[in-house]
Amino acid sequence: MIYLCSSSPSRALLLEKFGVKFEQKSAYYDEEQITTSIAKDFVYTASKGKLESAIKAFGLETPLLCADTVIASSDGQILRKPKNKEDAKRILRLQSNSKISIISSVHYQSKTQGFSNISATHYLFNCFDEVDLDAYLESGLWQGKAGGCMVEGFCKKYILEVDGFESTAMGLQVEEVLPWLEV
């Protein structure tokens, strides 16, 4: 059993899919204090900060798994969770007919071992249909998602090319993490 220190339903779904026993917990970490504009540095700092907060909050009696995900647009801009529907539309339009990188960083810590990993999955998207985009925005499913992106949902039919694991794009590179888990 581990603590998944994340409120992400996608991360929970991935752990369930792979048969990992876990309990979801949240430890507060303020990502706004991160000043880097480099996507991989941002996610590493955020997931490490979440781990440090989780250790303070929960200790290490139960192993901790923390993660963070961002999207890097084709021009290198960090696309985080949209603040509102208008922000989501702006961010998703940057991804339409473009290449993006979804970058996830994970930190795992138990009493006996630690593991960290940064992985990226790269997508080339076709142009998003405006009617589909508006319906997706109205659904609210973009909320809480890095870049408002759901490669397993809205974006799936627009994928022209993919390089990497879908799990990384969903926020947790399970294939990299599983060998380290003490469950």
Told to judge if 41 belongs to the known catalytic residues of this protein, a careful annotator would answer no
How many Cβ atoms are within 10 Å of 16's Cβ, its own excluded? Answer: 11
How many Cβ atoms are within 10 Å of 35's Cβ, its own excluded? Answer: 8
Question: One of 30, 41, 68, 134 is an active-site residue; which one?
Answer: 68
Burial (CB < 10 A; 0-12, 13-18, 19+), residue 19, is exposed
DSSP 81-126: --SSHHHHHHHHHHHTTSEEEEEEEEEEE-SS-EEEEEEEEEEEE-
In whole angstroms, what is the distance from residue 59 CA to residue 62 CA?
A: 7
Q: Are 132 and 139 in contact (CB under 8 A)?
A: no
In whole angstroms, what is the distance from residue 181 CA to residue 96 CA?
A: 36
What does DSSP say about strands 22-25 and 64-72: parallel, antiparallel, or unpaired? unpaired
Q: Are 118 and 103 in contact (CB under 8 A)?
A: yes
Active-site positions read: 68
